[in-house]
Amino acid sequence: MAGSDDTPEDRNLRTLARWRQTGRVLIEALPYILNYDQKTIVVKYGGNAMTGASAHDFAQDIVLMKQTGIDPVVVHGGGPQIGAMLKKLGIESTFIDGLRVTDEAAVEVVEMVLTGSINKQIVTGINFAGGRAVGLSGKDGNLVVARKLAMTRVNPATGEREAVDMGFVGEPEKVNPEVLHSIMKSETIPVIAPIGVGSQGETYNINADTVAGAVACALAAERLILLTDVEGVLDQDKKLIPKLSVREARALIADGTISGGMIPKIQTAIDAVEGGVRAAVILDGRIPHVLLLELFTEHGAGTLITAE
């Protein structure tokens, strides 16, 4: 804290020191900015990171990415918000292996929350931060053509594997990137709600990580970034693992180091890398400006997953 006997010269020196530090940060970021110039980066924005100051930080990061020559594409979730609305309407939620069983009544609510309030909040935030964003779902222009998710589980009574009906839960069958190319050519940022359309016009609720991975593959993205509420992949001593190959990631799943809700995220990352995405990153969306730290600094901020 500055003392009362500070002179104007002291204050000027402190100001100059801050300017020099800002200049050093910008210069250090330059090679990374050049590296990602005109590259596509797909960012999955999770429901748990959409509240408070982090939402404003996220919007600023996306706008800055666009202004530095990156083509960001946002895919968002909204699990907590969907759960709150279903509870408010008296519709019970059931989960199987982390996925919400979605009947006809629930899928209407899911679509309303995802494509309505959440999607528009993110679009508004990006626009307010100085960008130009447009919201859409997988239904628009047949962006995400989906099929019903075929799921099985082991019956605890019989020990046999049996089919499970998840209702209107789907998985991407085809992503039509032309829709996104048209939007991106107009210097606009697409913000995608993870709702798919079936061959008969059905509405499907799709896991947002899965949609983000499928979109990243369809666009041959440089990076798939999965924002979540943990700092990344942790080793058995609970220390962050900064980088993993696909082979190493599979080994950590096999030995139990990666477990629970992190498994589907890692699998999404693996599928994306094997599908042509240069690398996938799992980041803690609670950290202010974490996207900029990951993309424009030497050390990064999460766990990077690559082919080798």
Q: Which domains does the chain have, with CATH numbers?
A: 35-306 (3.40.1160.10)
Asked if 123 and 188 count as a contact pair (C-beta separation under 8 A), the reply is no
> How far, in Å, CA of 223 to CA of 216, rounded?
8
> How far, in Å, CA of 182 to CA of 180, rounded?
5
Give me the mean pLDDT over the 284-305 stretch.
86
Give me the mean pLDDT over the 139-155 stretch.
90
pLDDT bin (cut points 50, 70, 90) of residue 25 is low
Q: Is the pLDDT score of 5 beyond 70?
A: no
Supply the pLDDT for residue 1.
Answer: 47
pLDDT, averaged across the chain: 88
Q: Is the pLDDT score of 32 beyond 50?
A: yes
Asked if 127 and 60 count as a contact pair (C-beta separation under 8 A), the reply is no
* CB neighbour class for 39 (10 Å; exposed up to 12, middle 13-18, buried from 19): middle
> How far, in Å, CA of 158 to CA of 247, rounded?
34
Question: Tens of pLDDT along 263-289?
Answer: 889 999 999 999 999 999 999 888 888
- Cα of 260 vs its chain's centroid, Å: 18
Q: Does the global pTM surpass 0.85?
A: yes
> How far, in Å, CA of 90 to CA of 233, rounded?
36
Supply the pLDDT for residue 107.
Answer: 92
Q: Is the pLDDT score of 135 beyond 90?
A: yes
Supply the pLDDT for residue 302.
Answer: 87
pLDDT bin (cut points 50, 70, 90) of residue 189 is very high
